[in-house]
Amino acid sequence: MAIRPIVITGNPVLHRPAAKVAEFDDQLRALIADMYETMDAAHGVGLAAPQIGVGLRIFTYVFENEDGVAPRGVLVNPVLTPGKISEVAPDPDEEAEGCLSVPGQSWPLKRADWVRIAGQDENGDPVAFEANGWFARVMQHEYDHLDGKLYVDRLNTKWGKKAKKAIKNEAWSTDSTWMPGEDEDPFGH
């Protein structure tokens, strides 16, 4: 297992759809082990393979929930069905989201309060469950990475303008990264 650098917004791998996983082998399981280690070192609640520069449809998560779902897991080749998203403006105190690939930033975003997700585990066995509340938010956030979207791409006009300005001020390049456990934690954990 190894902690891998996290790529930052602007890197092309974050902005294109990831490829479906075809082989469930030791190489895949080693990648997933690295993802867990990187996610833990970064104090994240999820990590998608594109965030470590690997364009595959995989994400890990760690989130205590009340949905009867294991609080730590992986989804390979997931399919997500979201519930309805309210059209009410997001609450900046209750619905602010952050992302390891947009380090140090946090912006309010409205998400569905319920999702159904189905995919496979590291061995290719089927996994399916429903998620509610913040757990549903985590699933939607990580799933978006697999489709080449970051949460900042979904912000409303007001928050989107502020996020674009903040990101521009960071002056990240297309090959910017940060290393969990070595670089200063951008979220202050």
Is 43 a known ligand-binding residue?
no
Measured in residues, the chain has a length of 189
CA distance 137 to 45: 11
Q: Taken in order 107, 62, 47, 115, is the CA torsion positive or negative?
A: negative
Q: How far is CA 72 from the centre of its chain?
A: 14
Closest C-alpha to 18, from 154, 169, 142: 142
142 noted as active-site residue? yes
User: How many other CB atoms are there within 10 angstroms of residue 31's CB atom?
Assistant: 17
Has 15 been labeled as part of a binding site? no
**From 142, 170, 182, 184, the catalytic residue:** 142
CA–CA separation, 173 vs 28, rounded Å? 29
Q: Say whether 141 counts as a known binding-site residue.
A: yes
Query: Could you give the residue numbers annotated as active site?
Result: 142
Q: Which amino acids are annotated as binding site for Fe cation, given as ranges?
A: 99, 141, 145
Q: Which amino acids are annotated as binding site, given as ranges?
A: 99, 141, 145
